[in-house]
Chain A
Amino acid sequence: ELKVEQNPLFLSMQEGKNYTIYCNYSTTSDRLYWYRQDPGKSLESLFVLLSNGAVKQEGRLMASLDTKARLSTLHITAAVHDLSATYFCAVVSGYALNFGKGTSLLVTP
């Protein structure tokens, strides 16, 4: 059974600071997704990482994938309040996605 673990599960950070969210998974997969969820809302796709060594950046967020280590990271640069949300990583397993429990991020002034 594929397990996906994210850490930390809760993160409070000041505006302007940098931080990294980690996503580990237990079995081989070469495709990983990062989603954002605002309270009470659906999931918004942030990144699709397709292969080992893939790196994608959008604004203050950068995601990377190391399939050999079974690890993906989501790096936040110079955080702003608008980034406050819950972030999920999800790994392809069979015909669906296995999700981590999510990282709730709160960016404070």
Chain B
Amino acid sequence: DGGITQSPKYLFRKEGQNVTLSCEQNLNHDAMYWYRQDPGQGLRLIYYSQIVNDFQKGDIAEGYSVSREKKESFPLTVTSAQKNPTAFYLCASSLGRSSYNEQFFGPGTRLTVL
């Protein structure tokens, strides 16, 4: 089955720790995205990547880092510099690099800071 997988589903982080959220897709999509969702809010863009070895900051990139070493993988690291990381994180992908390609979403990772 083609799709987007995210792991883990739930993640707990202690203050001062870095954690990495996994996102994998087997849709052969060029572009991948990371969004953050807070309760009662829409999604906000953290980072996106249109092609391997290239990525761009979104609206709320501070305290986050990404890599895109393989087409199918786009991991997100939440660093200790992110002051309020508790949120629901959604990864998405789209077919091409055009802004008009429909985005498909993974199941999400819920991160909680203890």
Main secondary structure of the interface of B (DSSP, over half): strand
Chain A nearest Cβ from B99, distance in angstroms? 5
**Interface SS, A side:** strand
Count chain B residues whose beta carbon lies closer than 8 angstroms to a beta carbon of A. 24
**Per-residue contact bits, chain B 9-49, to A (CB 8 Å; 1 contact, 0 not):** 00000000000000000000001010000001111110010
Using Cβ atoms and an 8 Å threshold, which residues of chain B touch A45? Answer: 102, 104
Q: Quick check: is B103 within 8 A (CB to CB) of the other chain?
A: yes
B85 interface residue, CB < 8 Å from A? no
- Number of chain A residues whose Cβ lies closer than 8 Å to a Cβ of chain B: 23
B99: contacting residue among A9, A40, A95, CB under 8 A: A95
> B31, B42, B44: which contacts A95 (Cβ < 8 A)?
B31
Whether A99 touches B42, Cβ cut-off 8 Å, given contacts A42-B90, A94-B99, is yes
Q: Does A78 contact B (CB under 8 A)?
A: no
Q: Are B100 and A31 in contact (CB under 8 A)?
A: yes
Tell whether B82 is near chain A: CB-to-CB under 8 Å: no
Across-interface contacts of A95 in B (CB, < 8 A) = 31, 48, 50, 56, 97, 99
Which of the residues B40, B97, B99, B102 comes within 8 Å of A33, measured between beta carbons?
Answer: B102
- Which of B31, B42, B44, B107 has the largest count of A CB atoms less than 10 A from its CB? B42
Q: Give me the interface of A with B, judged by CB distance under 8 Å.
A: 4, 9, 31, 33, 35, 40-43, 45, 48, 88, 90, 92-97, 99-102
18 contacts between A and B (CB under 8 A): A31-B100, A33-B102, A33-B103, A41-B107, A41-B108, A42-B106, A43-B90, A45-B104, A48-B102, A88-B42, A94-B99, A95-B50, A96-B45, A96-B58, A99-B42, A99-B43, A99-B44, A101-B42
